[in-house]
Amino acid sequence: MDKRQLGFDRINLGHGSGGIMTRELLDEIIFKTFDNPYLGQKHDGSIVEIEGKMAISTDSFVVSPIFFKGGNIGELAVNGTVNDVAMCGAIPKFLSLAFIVEEGLKADEFVEIVNSVKAATDRCGVKVITGDTKVVERGKGDKIFINTTGFGEVHPKAKISAERIEIGDKIIVSGNIAQHGMAIMSQREGLEFQSSIESDTTNLNFLIENLLNNFGHKIKLFRDPTRGGLASTLSEIASDTDSGIVIHENKLPLEKQVAAACEILGLDPLYVANEGVFVAIVKEDIASQVVELLSKDVKGSNAICVGEITDNHKGKVVMQSAIGGKRIVTPLIGEHLPRIC
Amino acid sequence: MDKRQLGFDRINLGHGSGGIMTRELLDEIIFKTFDNPYLGQKHDGSIVEIEGKMAISTDSFVVSPIFFKGGNIGELAVNGTVNDVAMCGAIPKFLSLAFIVEEGLKADEFVEIVNSVKAATDRCGVKVITGDTKVVERGKGDKIFINTTGFGEVHPKAKISAERIEIGDKIIVSGNIAQHGMAIMSQREGLEFQSSIESDTTNLNFLIENLLNNFGHKIKLFRDPTRGGLASTLSEIASDTDSGIVIHENKLPLEKQVAAACEILGLDPLYVANEGVFVAIVKEDIASQVVELLSKDVKGSNAICVGEITDNHKGKVVMQSAIGGKRIVTPLIGEHLPRIC
């Protein structure tokens, strides 16, 4: 979609009316960008076929600012939901796409976001099959919110379930943590670092598929530690399964620059959101092979085994510090970083 | 969910953090209300099985006010999406549920909306299987926006496609038009009518299923004329299929009170949103039977054949007035009634 072809500068309330202007917005931007037979039905819904079991996940994206280093809200909305579907042990196939636009959003920005959505879906191998656009008055929204709901086919070899976690299982983190959150926060706070931090937003579905192809049932759980960071995700797993989790501070993959930014802003990287990292809990005997396989992919090049499931500290996460101390890692309390995704 | 059990009065940013407060909100309100094995997975997604072809539809609801005569945004968000899935000729089964809450929303109101969502899903026979909750700062949203995405199994007898429309097909409207829009507008404008107008929000899925059971392929198209009203829906059908549509003014089902309210506010009921009405385009030979079957149900008691597909006026909708005049019915131009759904 070329920005210059549009007959309007800004999105206004008429674009959410359900009448001619809505139709123009759809015809000029949405249908042209996402040209596929599903959307071509131009109905209020779409018909698809899924084989076997289906994984579904929904997420609304309210990140602020909507454009940030390393991405924008459109790309994030695709990657975020595609990753959530993948974490179920599934191969993402389709996406619904719903915009809530604040009156006055620049048409250029809308087009740029829609184009990013399209590019991201192409990278993920998913299709946008149905959508919705609402417009709210100025001051009743914040530029644009996006909801995506994703669905995919459960991988035939997958047996993802927190209940299968056992003592001795290893905890693998696929990449450097805290990048997305620190990219957003640095930008909000107007901090300038020597070389700036970029969001790690990316799609993890092919990495997940590759792991399932190779290790099948030996993978017990996938999770992506977004809002609330690694600490909240691991705490939830420990609490839900009544397992003890030990992680080793010196193993946590963290870029120096990100660590420095966290220190300046007084944030613990364990609680900072990630958008291109996942946690895998796997049977002990495949842990090193999993890390090796991940390391071959640029998105998993910093993969590392950070800890294990233990027979003590039931329901809790304990971090062993580099100098031998131990501390309980609690889930995030309070607000921390609002509107990070 | 009992309102009195909550430990907080208002939703705040912490409830969207992804940490302990988010978990409390989920555990105390969402998981307790929607107690089912799908949500019990407490994962970022959910696994379901669908047989055969699947219909999917997504909608964000931004209606203002969030509580209105005849319903609230929660109920509307369920009925609206369930109806969109049904209009595809499908039997709705599952729903995702995503909230964008403005900081400061009263917890009581949130609980009331969640309870309405639950009651509406029970009436529709669908299950909420996955969800999301985001919180935005005061002034960056408007109390609450809800996205629902619905999934259903395509009815084995359904063959819904605008391309199957032929000259001679009849156009049936299932009930009185313009009620939802006028309920919202009357409330916004502070108008007081002798007896107040209620939204017609309701689920139409069982009515649709019944029609498909009885008439199968002889039904060509279902549509629910929400935003933009009956005029916009029929115009879209005419334009997309290059068919001529004639409707008869004296057949349009419209309550006196609603007609009066439209007159006072200077609105044409043909453009006012409906939430409990659908349009069916059917083969001529079953039209009277369709109306008869619908009339037996309270939700279809005012069903009537309002027009037909003709061999002239290609791509246009023409209304024949009671006194014999004709006028072209255009789709809605401009904004009309913002945030009606």
User: What is the complex's ipTM, to 2 decimals?
Assistant: 0.95
- Where in chain A do CATH 3.30.1330.10 domains reside? 3-154
What does the pLDDT read at residue B326?
Answer: 95
Tens digit of pLDDT for each residue in B165-216? Answer: 999 999 999 999 999 999 999 888 887 655 589 999 999 999 999 999 999 9
CATH topology of domain B3-154: 60s Ribosomal Protein L30; Chain: A; (3.30.1330)
Q: To 10 degrees, the CA torsion angle through A142, A136, B59, A25?
A: -100
Q: What is the DSSP string of A49-74?
A: E--SEEEEEEEEE--SSSEETTEEHH
What does the pLDDT read at residue B251?
Answer: 97
Q: Which of B49, B240, B273 sits opposite A54 (nearest CB)?
A: B49
What does the pLDDT read at residue A324?
Answer: 85
How large a percentage of chain B has pLDDT more than 90?
A: 83
Q: How confident is the model at residue B63 (pLDDT cuts 50, 70, 90)?
A: very high
Which chain B residues are within 8 Å of A60, Cβ to Cβ? 98-100, 132, 134, 147
Please indicate whether, in this complex, the C-beta atoms of B339 and A224 are within 8 angstroms of each other.
no
Residues of chain A below pLDDT 50: none
Tokens of B256: 């006196």
Q: Which of A19, A227, A339 sits opposite B336 (nearest CB)?
A: A19
What does the pLDDT read at residue B193?
Answer: 58
Please indicate whether, in this complex, the C-beta atoms of A333 and B20 are within 8 angstroms of each other.
yes
Residue among A261, A255, A309, A250 nearest A277 (CA): A255
Please indicate whether, in this complex, the C-beta atoms of B44 and A57 are within 8 angstroms of each other.
yes
What does the pLDDT read at residue A52?
Answer: 85
Q: Which of B22, B46, B139 sits opposite A56 (nearest CB)?
A: B46
What does the pLDDT read at residue B195?
Answer: 58
Interface probe for B, chosen from A24, A42, A58 (most Cβ of B below 10 Å), is: A58
Residue A142 touches partner B, C-beta closer than 8 Å: yes
Sign of CA dihedral B294, B295, B297, B298: positive
What does the pLDDT read at residue B194?
Answer: 54
Which chain B residues are within 8 Å of A236, Cβ to Cβ? 23, 42
Q: CA of A337, closest CA in chain B: separation in Å?
A: 7
* C-alpha span between A62 and A271 (Å, rounded): 19
Q: Which of A18, A57, A100 sits opposite B62 (nearest CB)?
A: A100
- Do A330 and A321 touch, CB atoms closer than 8 A? no
What is the pTM (predicted TM-score) of this model?
0.96
> Which CATH architecture does the domain made up of A162-329 adopt?
Alpha-Beta Complex (3.90)
154-173 in A: which are within 8 Å (CB) of B? 154, 162
Place of tokens 């020597």: A194
Cis peptide before B65 (omega within 30 of 0): yes
What does the pLDDT read at residue A3?
Answer: 59
Sign of CA dihedral A300, A261, A251, A235: negative
CA distances from B277 to A42, A69, A185, A306, B71 (A): 20, 46, 47, 56, 15
Q: Which chain A residue is nearest to residue B231, measuring alpha carbons?
A: A19
Considering only A56-60, A95-99, B41-45, B239-243, which range has the smallest mean pLDDT? Answer: B41-45
- Do B104 and B137 touch, CB atoms closer than 8 A? no
What does the pLDDT read at residue A188?
Answer: 87
Tokens of B133: 């909750």
